[in-house]
Amino acid sequence: MQPRNMSMRGAVDLAAVKAAAEAAQKAEQARAARARQAQEAGADGAAAASAGPLIFDVSEREFEDQVVQLSSEVPVVLNFWAEGYAPAEQFKPVIEQLAEELDGRIVLAHVDIRTNQQLAQQLQIRDLPTLLAVVAGQLLPLVEGPMTEPEVRQLLAQLIEAAEKQLGVVGEVGVRSGRESGPAEVEAPVDPVLAAAHEALDRGDLGGAIQAYRNVLSDRPGSVEAALGLAQSELLLRVQGLDPQAVRSAAADRPADVEAQLAAADLDLTGGHVEDAFGRLVDLVGRTFGDDRDRVRTHLLGLFEVIGAEDPRVVKARGALARKLF
């Protein structure tokens, strides 16, 4: 969840809006078809007409039918793994448990790279486990290598939100497990500490906002809203008092100066030039080494937090960053 609609998000991507509308229409058509099937089959056949497994194995031959087509109805998470490889085996029950908890908001497809080598090569799988997502036929990179349960939980929450808001794909809770949706969810009470952080940010008290967001994250490290708010507040604090003309002149004159390039990237982002900011730092990662490279990489990851992991510009830049690093 984005705490505030800030100007740094840049212009609306009309292509993405069009894709979301089309995906939503396809999803609605799929739901209507399932409803007709259930009505024709009667009460006993309703679950069979609409349901599929929450967790399944997929092969290269079945990829189009089991993953791509299904992704218009529900986000499909692909877990690339291999039996006998400890990190992948240890991660498998973690992601399965989360898929069961989400109960149809996503489905999980395991891909064994030993028996699906061509697919793994096509998707450039470099490490295990690797998670990718397919939503409305679009492939979205999630993570390479082991993650902790809280990290995966947060990542899946961001995926679900992005799938709904950007592509109109919403998995139906309870359909695939056979459990019907329960009572309507009660709106969570307002978190007073988080509300105080938002209010501080709105009135320009950046120091107060930063401390308040840190307080929230201290109690709840997985709070996506607090993490985004903190990243935004820290960025705004960094650019306070900067002379844009001087910063851009320094960046142009000293392309190897890490400090100058970081400041220019911050100004790019606050000015709505998101891709310029990301491109500047991805390029700098490729031209730096050691501590400098790590500093640039960390700064870039912080800018990703400002925009939000679900934003397609972040997804694209993450891929470019991975290619520079590996």
User: Has residue 253 got a pLDDT over 90?
Assistant: yes
Rounded to an integer, the average pLDDT of 118-136 is 90
Q: Which residues contact 193 (CB under 8 A, 6 or more apart)?
A: 212, 215, 216, 219
CA 265, CA 281: separation in Å to the nearest integer? 7
Position 303 confidence tier, pLDDT thresholds 50, 70, 90: very high
132: helix, strand or coil: strand
**Domains in the chain with CATH codes:** 14-167 (3.40.30.10), 192-325 (1.25.40)
User: Has residue 312 got a pLDDT over 50?
Assistant: yes
pLDDT of amino acid 182: 47
Span 166-194, pLDDT tens digits: 778 888 887 666 555 444 444 556 678 88
User: Has residue 49 got a pLDDT over 70?
Assistant: no
Span 207-247, pLDDT tens digits: 999 999 999 898 888 787 888 889 889 999 999 989 999 99
pLDDT of amino acid 76: 94
Mean pLDDT of all residues in the chain?
Answer: 80
- Is the pTM higher than 0.85? no
Q: What is the CA radius of gyration of the chain?
A: 22
Under a CB-based contact definition with an 8 Å cutoff, are residues 308 and 273 in contact? no
Strands of the chain, DSSP E: 55-57, 76-81, 107-112, 130-135, 138-144
pLDDT of amino acid 308: 79
CA 308, CA 15: separation in Å to the nearest integer? 19
Helix orientation angle between 149-167 and 86-102, rounded to the nearest 10 degrees: 50
Span 6-24, pLDDT tens digits: 333 232 233 333 344 444 4
pLDDT of amino acid 43: 42
Distances (CA, A) of 102 to 73, 189, 230, 306: 15, 21, 27, 26
Structure tokens at 117: 């080598």
Percent of the chain with pLDDT over 90: 40
